[in-house]
Amino acid sequence: MKRLLKFLKSYRKECVIAPLFKLLEAAFELFVPKVMASIIDVGIKNQDGPYVLKMGLVLVALAVIGLSCAVTAQFFAAKAAVGFSTKLREVLFGHVEDLSFTDIDQAGTSTLITRMTSDVNQVQSGVNMTLRLFLRSPIIVFGAMIMAFTVDASMAWIFVIAIPILAIIVFGIMLLTMPLYKKVQSGLDKVLGITRENLTGVRVIRAFHQEETEKTRFEESNQALTAMQKFVGRISACMNPVTYVVVNLAIMILIYKGALKVQIGDLSQGQVIAILDYMSMILVELVKLANLIILMTKAMACADRVASVLEIGTDESSKDNVSTPHDDAQPIETFVGASVAGREDADYLVFDHVAMKYRGAGEETLEDVNFAVRKGDTVGVIGGTGSGKSTLVNLIPGFYSATQGRILLEGKELSSFDEAELRNRMGVVPQKAVLFQGTIRSNLLWGKPDATEEEMWKALELAQAKEIVEGKDGRLDAEVAQNGRNFSGGQRQRLTIARALVRKPEILILDDSASALDYATDAKLRASVRSIKDQTTTFIVSQRASSIRHADLIIVLDDGHVAGLGTHEELLTNCEVYQEIYYSQYPEERKEAVANG
């Protein structure tokens, strides 16, 4: 919790005013039993009506002033708590946006969502209640004990014994439940993860008729969370009855001793009632304090979870691995411009013995990848499932860092580029086509915020998406639903390609982004991409040999290794892996090749 207190700096005034007015409310409340004692011992005993009326008006005045103080305190406490959570969410969201892909992969989407919503709400409630009650309840408890000494010192010692016992109960339960509440929040993460998975994959679940299986899986996690919540709830629930038992025992002793003292004339009836009122005050405040402790326990557990997200990526252990030179790596000045896979003038983008290993993975996903690309080239990347195709192209925009070797762009190491500068030179179309709620225009403007309509229509034409937009009411201003669900898979892919093309990128990365397109549309798209080759270096990741056969350079990956480099014709001659992929898609050409020897 301490690590998050810096977000309260802007609300120092509120953090002072709220407890101050609560203390004033508590002070006025502590005078009420003394006034009541005076009414009984003076007004009622002497049947003095005017005195009773006067003291009654004093009680009303104390109530009005106390209420005013309470409302003021709650206003400023709420203002501080809401402002604190607003700032915390902003910083947390900004931090998550800045995390590397590795950090997001490790933290998990469902966990980040829980911590940004449920956990922050719990911390907000904790701050609010702390400002309102954390000082008020102890002041009432110890103030009541002190006021009891002003009435009768011998009776007040009962308070001195009861309060430490109550403190041990309250704080003992708090220390016991705090780690349990952390486990509860972790269980909530798991339930949220299953829920998110089911909602995003609902079509697959229904297609395979796995509704009952998923219901069972959800119920098991939900029941585990419920059992955990019940367990910690039972422990927390013990606080109120145990404190009631201790306080009521103290009240019984006070009544017994008070009756004896009244009988022998050492105490008046009003004084006994005042002492009982102070003990009742302690009971009420301890119940409030107990509930506050439970809430604070949850809030502190959630605060630790939120703070742990803010710490992701801030220490060396949580950063992407920094690339280290390969044992066989050549100096940059001799490597760039030298012969790399037979491409003497290829010096625009160079992979120099690059290896990549995901954090926590047992083996390297890519190993000793070594190739170079000319500016304006079209590069095809092909290979079996899990061969490292997406990993390779994700290294180019710096989504992940190489764990070995170097990636050079125009002779400079990729890590030396400013992130914004590097990404502005790229156009990336990921495997999963993602559109954001809004309009077609607003989605295209992600690629280039100041794009003109002419530029947008040109990009749509290149991406074979022009007819999609022309067929919509409003055209560029046609509505796009959340996740683009009012478009088909192929339409979403073409619109995301247009979004990348509208910025006229130096490097265009199409990561299997035409998988939902038919062969005719795919062929037109490839022809369009080739028409801009002098301006843009294009990487095409595909499972289809037809999509990359006309590329200037084809990279064949096999289990993280480069199995072949070259053109389509070269690879058909000397690369077995490429031959296997190509002939599996074009079996009639295999027959011709066999027939021709």
pLDDT digits (tens, 9 = 90+) for 412-430: 888 888 888 888 888 888 8
Residue 260 belongs to a domain: yes
Domain annotation covers residue 226:
yes
Q: Report whether pLDDT(77) > 50.
A: yes
The whole-number average pLDDT for the span 48-67 is 87
**pLDDT in the model for residue 76:** 92
pLDDT for the residue 463 = 83
Confidence tier at 289 by pLDDT (50, 70, 90): confident
Instruction: Report the percentage of the chain scoring pLDDT > 90.
Output: 1
Residues 6+ positions from 264 with CB-CB distance below 8 Å:
none
Number of domains in the chain: 2
**E strands present in 319-472:** 349-356, 366-373, 378-383, 404-409, 412-413, 426-429, 438-439
User: Are 269 and 172 part of one and the same domain?
Assistant: yes
CA distance 495 to 468: 9
Tokens 């939900």, residue? 222
Higher-confidence position of 548 and 240:
548
Query: 302 with 336, same domain?
Result: no
Residue scoring higher pLDDT (171 or 128): 128
Q: Which of 563, 568, 567 is nearest to 586 (CA)?
A: 568
Does 462 reside within a domain? no
Q: Are residues 223 and 336 in the same domain?
A: no
CA separation (Å) from 101 to 104, 375, 390, 540?
Answer: 5, 27, 13, 21
Domain annotation covers residue 473: no
What CATH number is attached to the domain comprising 563?
3.40.50.300
CATH for 298 = 1.20.1560.10
- Check whether residue 171 and residue 74 sit in a common domain: yes
Say what the pLDDT of residue 591 is: 61
397-408 mean pLDDT: 85
Q: Residue 560: left if φ>0, alpha if ψ -120 to 50, beta else—which one?
A: left
Final residue belonging to a domain, choices 318, 346, 375: 318
pLDDT of residue 342: 46
Which residue, 318, 351, 385, sits at the end of a domain?
A: 318
289 shares its domain with 411: no
Residue 408 pLDDT: 87
Contact residues for 356 (Cβ-Cβ < 8 A; gap 6+): 364, 365, 366, 388, 391, 392, 395, 400, 402, 403, 404
**According to the model, what pLDDT value does residue 357 have?**
84
Residue 365 near residue 357 (C-beta atoms within 8 A): yes
Query: Do 218 and 72 belong together in one domain?
Result: yes
Per-residue pLDDT tens digits for 300-328? 878 888 888 888 775 444 444 444 444 44
User: pLDDT of 501-546, one tens digit each?
Assistant: 888 888 888 887 777 677 788 778 777 777 776 678 888 888 888 8
* Banded model confidence at residue 75, pLDDT cuts 50, 70, 90: very high
- Residue bearing tokens 């992407």: 320
User: What's the domain range around 264?
Assistant: 2-318
pTM confidence score: 0.64
CB 244 within 8 A of CB 283: yes
The per-residue pLDDT for 333 is: 39
User: Does position 477 have pLDDT exceeding 60, yes or no?
Assistant: yes
Residues 291 and 212 in one domain: yes
| 3-state SS track over 362-386 | CCCCEEEEEEEECCCCEEEEEECCC
Q: What is the pLDDT of residues 15-54, one digit of tens each?
A: 888 888 888 888 888 888 888 888 887 878 778 888 888 8
| Residue 332 confidence (pLDDT) | 39
Please check whether residues 73 and 124 belong to one and the same domain.
Answer: yes
CA 179-183-187 angle, 5° bins: 165
CA distances from 454 to 216, 421, 440, 451, 460 (A): 53, 25, 14, 8, 10
Beta-strand pair 537-541/507-511: parallel
Residue after which a domain boundary falls, among 266, 287, 318: 318
Residues 6 or more apart whose Cβ sits within 8 Å of residue 421: none
The CA distance from 49 to 335, in Å, is: 105
CA-CA distance, 172 to 153, in Å (whole number)? 29
Mean of per-residue pLDDT scores for the chain: 80
